[in-house]
C-alpha cells in the first residue's frame, strides 16, 4: 500500500475521499500511530481552532465508517428549499436505517460558533432509541436553525446500546464513551454544514 500523501489526508479530513480509498486509509490509520499524528497535524493546520467542549467531531462527512455522509438535510417547508436558510427554519435530518441494528440509539449534536452541543437526547435525559424516529425505511428528526451563527453544523450519531452506561451522567462521560465507540468503528457519525442568512 502506498504512503498516503498530504492531499489524500486532507481529502479524508474534509470528508470527500471516495469510499474505497477511505477504507484503505482507515486500515492504515488503525495500525499506524505516526500516520494518525500526521493527519491530526494537517487537520489542526487547516481547520478552525477547536472550541472547548466535550464533543469533538469532524468538520463534515462521515466518521466511524467509510464513505460519504449518508444523512440528508432539507427544509420542512418546500418554499424554503431554494432559499437561504434563516434562523427559526425547521430542517428535517433523515438517515437510512437498513444497516443500523434494530436496537440502535441516536444522538444529535449542533454546533454554531462555539463548541458542539448535544440536543438529542437532551443532557440529563435517557437514551433515544433510533426506532422512536423511524418511519418505513428512514429515520428522521426535526431541528430548528438557531440564531447568531452564520455557519452551523449538525451531527447524527447511530450507536448500539451499551456504549453509554448512564445517559444522565456528566456530558464529558457521555461524549467520551460515544467518541471511543466512533474511533473503534462501533458507532457511526455523519456531519453536515449549513450556511444561515440573517
Instruction: Please report which confidence band the pLDDT of residue 19 belongs to, taking 50, 70 and 90 as the band edges.
Output: low
Same domain, 9 and 39: yes
Same domain, 57 and 37: no
Same domain, 37 and 66: no
Same domain, 102 and 161: yes
Same domain, 24 and 106: no
* Total number of domains in the chain: 2
Same domain, 96 and 137: yes
Same domain, 110 and 58: yes
Angstrom distance (rounded) from CA 191 to CA 71: 8
**What pLDDT is stored for residue 14 in this prediction?**
66
Same domain, 115 and 181: yes
Same domain, 3 and 73: no
Span between the terminal Cα atoms of the chain, in Å: 48
Mean pLDDT in the chain? Answer: 80
Same domain, 73 and 159: yes
Same domain, 166 and 71: yes
Instruction: Please report which confidence band the pLDDT of residue 1 belongs to, taking 50, 70 and 90 as the band edges.
Output: low
Domain containing 18 equals 1-47
Q: 107 pLDDT exceeds 90?
A: yes
* CB-CB contact of 82 with 35 (8 Å): no
Of 8-17, 30-39, 66-75, 186-195, where does mean pLDDT reach its minimum?
66-75
Output the DSSP codes for the chain.
Answer: -PPPPHHHHHHHHHT-S-HHHHHHHHHHHHH-HHHHHHHHHHHHHHSPPPPSSS----SSEEESSSSS---EEEESSGGGTTSPB-TT-EEEEEEE-TTS-TT-EEEEEEESSS--EEEESPTTS---BGGGGEETTEEEEEEEPPSS-SEEEEEEEEE-TTS-S-TTS-HHHHHHHHHHHHHTTSSEEEEEEEEB--
Of 100-104, 111-115, 117-121, where does mean pLDDT reach its minimum?
100-104
Per cent of the chain over pLDDT 90 is: 17
**What pLDDT is stored for residue 65 in this prediction?**
63
**What pLDDT is stored for residue 67 in this prediction?**
46
**What pLDDT is stored for residue 16 in this prediction?**
64
Same domain, 138 and 125: yes
What is the CATH classification number for the domain harbouring 98?
Answer: 2.60.40
- Give residue-wise pLDDT tens across range 63-90: 766 444 467 777 776 555 545 678 888 8
- Give residue-wise pLDDT tens across range 133-176: 888 777 888 888 888 888 888 888 988 899 999 999 999 999 99
Angstrom distance (rounded) from CA 16 to CA 32: 22
Average pLDDT over residues 94-116: 84
Amino acid at each position: 500500500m502506498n504512503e498516503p500523501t498530504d492531499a489524500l489526508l486532507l481529502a479524508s479530513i474534509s470528508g470527500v475521499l471516495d469510499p474505497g480509498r477511505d477504507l484503505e486509509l482507515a486500515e492504515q490509520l488503525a495500525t499506524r500511530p505516526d500516520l494518525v499524528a500526521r493527519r491530526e497535524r494537517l487537520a489542526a493546520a487547516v481547520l478552525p481552532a477547536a472550541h472547548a467542549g466535550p464533543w469533538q467531531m469532524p468538520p463534515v462527512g462521515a466518521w466511524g465508517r467509510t464513505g460519504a455522509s449518508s444523512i440528508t438535510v432539507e427544509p420542512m417547508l418546500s418554499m424554503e428549499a431554494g432559499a437561504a436558510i434563516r434562523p427559526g427554519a425547521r430542517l428535517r435530518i433523515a438517515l437510512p436505517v437498513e444497516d443500523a441494528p434494530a436496537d440502535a440509539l441516536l444522538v444529535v449534536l449542533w454546533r454554531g460558533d462555539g463548541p458542539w452541543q448535544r440536543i438529542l437526547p437532551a443532557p440529563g435525559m435517557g437514551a433515544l432509541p433510533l426506532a422512536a424516529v423511524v418511519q418505513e425505511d428512514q429515520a428522521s428528526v426535526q431541528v430548528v436553525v438557531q440564531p447568531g451563527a452564520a455557519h452551523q453544523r449538525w451531527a447524527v450519531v447511530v450507536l448500539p446500546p451499551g456504549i453509554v452506561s448512564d445517559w444522565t451522567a456528566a456530558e464529558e462521560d457521555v461524549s467520551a464513551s460515544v467518541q471511543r465507540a466512533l474511533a473503534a468503528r462501533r458507532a457511526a457519525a455523519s456531519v453536515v454544514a449549513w450556511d444561515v442568512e440573517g
